[in-house]
Structure 1
Amino acid sequence: MASVKVAGIDCGTNSIRLMIATVDDHGMHVEVPRIMRVVRLGQDVDKTHRFDDAALKRTYAAIDEFADVLKSHPVDALRFVATSATRDAENRDEFEDSVFDRLGVRPDVIPGSEEAALSFLGATSVMEARHDADELPDAPYTVIDLGGGSTEMVIGGDGRTAPIDQVVAAFSMNIGSVRMSERHLVSDPPSEDEIRAAIADIDEHIDEAFEHVPAYRTGTLIGVSGTVTTMSGIALGLREYDRDTVDGARIGFAEASETCDRVLRMTRSQRRGYPVIHPGRIDVIGGGALVWDRVLRRIGDAVAEHDGRTLNSYVASEHGLLDGIVLDLGRRMLND
């Protein structure tokens, strides 16, 4: 059976991730599990539209680490994907040149639409492996990828008029944990006025997303990204983060909303008392929690208003953009 060994790097606003896997006709087989480093590449980009020198230094250190891993695990191909922060940075040429010098590939600065499609691919690729064919969760699947600078909303087919793993509509919103925290939630803890301003900003973007994505059709909501999995871990009452426990867990909207509100209103010092929260997310997880809470509320309301159905839970997933990058690269190489 033909197979290829590939690597993917997902360089986001808050973190950068590497994964190496073999891809064949049966799917993706991970050889080097995800390595994640919080580098805050998008520090102040929303305000200055430029990469900060300290942020670049942190990111280059992580990329150098990834380069060493790749030397020990040679691959047939590597794809480096950069997202929201790099899309917004005026001095991104310097960053792209430095990545090439270190890895021998230039970053693919992808648009939000491709980011959404790859996140959908990664999140839905494991659904059949988790469930028997007659026990799959209700379609269509709506995937929310809540990043540091942007949040992608994408819905797939219903299994009748379109395959459930086919993207039907997608939209990228310029809201995320870092962007909302830096733009609005600057006090510690955030003030009521700051929270109200952030909610207005978030809801405006969700309104726009709903013009492109029929989220009211959602059968199963899947949440991916560090913010979502962190909030899910807290909602599950974990003392420390456990990837296997969070991955695939179904969380009720009411429990998630209470958790999001509690984390939003914590001081940074209080958040440090939760080992589930990665130290690199302490100062921005409140912004992410607020975005996630508003997305859950708005999609739940849209479903109820459209046809009276009740959508009151989501599935947390550890599989998102990075999985999609690797799987898509491997499949394209096999097809070629």
Structure 2
Amino acid sequence: MSNSVIVAGIDCGTNSIRLKIARVDEQDMTDIVPKVLRVVRLGESVDATGRFADGALARVHAAAEEFAQILSEYNVQALRFVATSATRDAENRVVFEDDMEHLLGVRPEVISGLEEARLSYMGAISAFGRDQIQYPALIMDLGGGSTELVLGGDGVDTAVDQVQASYSMNVGSVRMTERHHLYDQPDDASVEAAIADIDEYLDVACAHIPIEQTRTFVGVSGTVTTMAALALNLPEYDASRVDGIRLPFAQVEQVDTKFLHMSREQRRVYKAIHPGRVDVVGGGALVLNRVIARVQERVVASGGELNELLISEHGLLDGIVLDLGRRMLRRV
């Protein structure tokens, strides 16, 4: 029997905090406690103030207490706690870090955008067989505060499980919604300003990543999976219906535009949207639309063809757990 370890990962982003416990061996990762998600909006107002709000710190504290109770029920051999965009930006982040260390016994690791990209790519491709993806694959992890674009290898010059190029953009559902007031039926001027903002970041990303090489485009994160559920007209969110589906770009863009221009009250009718995403899902949808348009444009301009998005429930959190487990196994 092969060696295995039981490890846990926590991913605390701008909008949500998530926990996963899994058994990792040399070949695979098996969930013990699948993803537990709590929307805490840790990044509330950080883009404007540069600080965590007291209410946000209280919400993440409550979630961490819950996670500590779950972790105490399992023989977890190691825990890695990763914090991303909002924590990178907050000048009072030590208050958050001290509180999390007190509750969970590990200090949050504020990772760089490059490390976030590497782990997101690892987690995303781990869920697919070699026959499901044409390489190079481009992974888009669209978060609350940042969006990572990661291009993997082609299997010739670079291994398909290795990152060829990546870029982290300070563009996300919460950040764009707050910065450009996209909460409720945004006017044309607000949308146009947000588009210009997103496109400027995409210009820089395209200078860092040869996006035109993309053969499979994979979208991960809450915004992406939520918009996929809405595109499928699901009466409520169902991860099993969303994970692994392929959606035409045109279908995604149509539903993105529809929900961008809705009010919060109109969005609340749709049970596929988590209540904690209702106010920012339109901003996330706009980011999704702009990234899709730019990727398709670059691929087509190079003589290629790309017209669909592969949706994945797997990403950064899976990468955190898988990477931790593999590192531990190498030390066994």
TM-score range, shorter chain: over 0.9
1:177·1:284 contact (CA, 8 Å) conserved in 2? yes
Does the alignment pair 1:65 with 2:63? no
Q: Offset at 1:187?
A: 5.6
Secondary structure (helix, strand or coil) at the match of 1:302 reads helix
Counterpart for residue 221 of structure 2: 225
Separation (CA, whole Å) in 1 of partners of 2:181 and 2:257:
13
Separation (CA, whole Å) in 2 of partners of 1:7 and 1:212:
32
Q: How high is the sequence identity, in percent, across the aligned residues?
A: 58
Secondary structure (helix, strand or coil) at the match of 1:74 reads coil
> Match for 1:310 among 305, 313, 321?
305
Letter in 1 for 2:228: S
Q: Offset at 1:137?
A: 2.3
> Match for 2:167 among 160, 166, 171?
171
Q: Offset at 1:36?
A: 0.1
Secondary structure (helix, strand or coil) at the match of 2:87 reads helix
> Match for 1:297 among 278, 293, 299?
293
- Of 11-20 and 233-242, deviating more is 233-242
Q: Offset at 1:136?
A: 3.3
Counterpart for residue 146 of structure 1: 142
Separation (CA, whole Å) in 1 of partners of 2:236 and 2:20:
23
Change in 2 beyond 3 A, CA 1:186/1:246? closer
Q: Deviations over 1:174-201 (max 9, x none)?
A: 0000000000024621110000000000
Secondary structure (helix, strand or coil) at the match of 1:155 reads strand
Counterpart for residue 121 of structure 1: 122
Does the alignment pair 1:261 with 2:261? no
Separation (CA, whole Å) in 1 of partners of 2:108 and 2:97:
6
1:120·1:324 contact (CA, 8 Å) conserved in 2? yes
1:137·1:220 contact (CA, 8 Å) conserved in 2? yes
Counterpart for residue 56 of structure 1: 57
CA RMSD of aligned residues (A): 0.8
Change in 2 beyond 3 A, CA 1:242/1:187? closer
Letter in 1 for 2:34: P
Counterpart for residue 84 of structure 2: 83
Counterpart for residue 280 of structure 2: 284
Separation (CA, whole Å) in 2 of partners of 1:70 and 1:76:
10
Counterpart for residue 97 of structure 2: 96
Secondary structure (helix, strand or coil) at the match of 2:305 reads coil
Letter in 1 for 2:330: N
Separation (CA, whole Å) in 2 of partners of 1:335 and 1:137:
28
Q: Deviations over 1:75-130 (max 9, x none)?
A: 100000000000000000111011111011000000000001100000001111xx
Secondary structure (helix, strand or coil) at the match of 1:121 reads helix
Does the alignment pair 1:107 with 2:108? yes
Secondary structure (helix, strand or coil) at the match of 1:6 reads strand
Change in 2 beyond 3 A, CA 1:74/1:49? same
Q: Offset at 1:74?
A: 2.6
Secondary structure (helix, strand or coil) at the match of 2:149 reads strand
Counterpart for residue 194 of structure 1: 190
1:247·1:318 contact (CA, 8 Å) conserved in 2? yes
Separation (CA, whole Å) in 1 of partners of 2:265 and 2:134:
40
Letter in 1 for 2:266: Q
Which structure 2 residue ranges, 5 or more long, are not aligned?
A: none
Does the alignment pair 1:11 with 2:17? no
Secondary structure (helix, strand or coil) at the match of 2:57 reads helix
Which structure 1 residue ranges, 5 or more long, are not aligned?
A: none
Separation (CA, whole Å) in 1 of partners of 2:234 and 2:212:
32
Letter in 2 for 1:239: P
1:303·1:310 contact (CA, 8 Å) conserved in 2? yes
Separation (CA, whole Å) in 2 of partners of 1:187 and 1:39:
17
Change in 2 beyond 3 A, CA 1:141/1:187? closer
1:185·1:191 contact (CA, 8 Å) conserved in 2? no
TM-score by length of 1: 0.97
Counterpart for residue 326 of structure 2: 331
TM-score by length of 2: 0.98
Counterpart for residue 210 of structure 1: 206
Q: Deviations over 1:42-98 (max 9, x none)?
A: 000000000000000000000000000001113100000000000000000111011
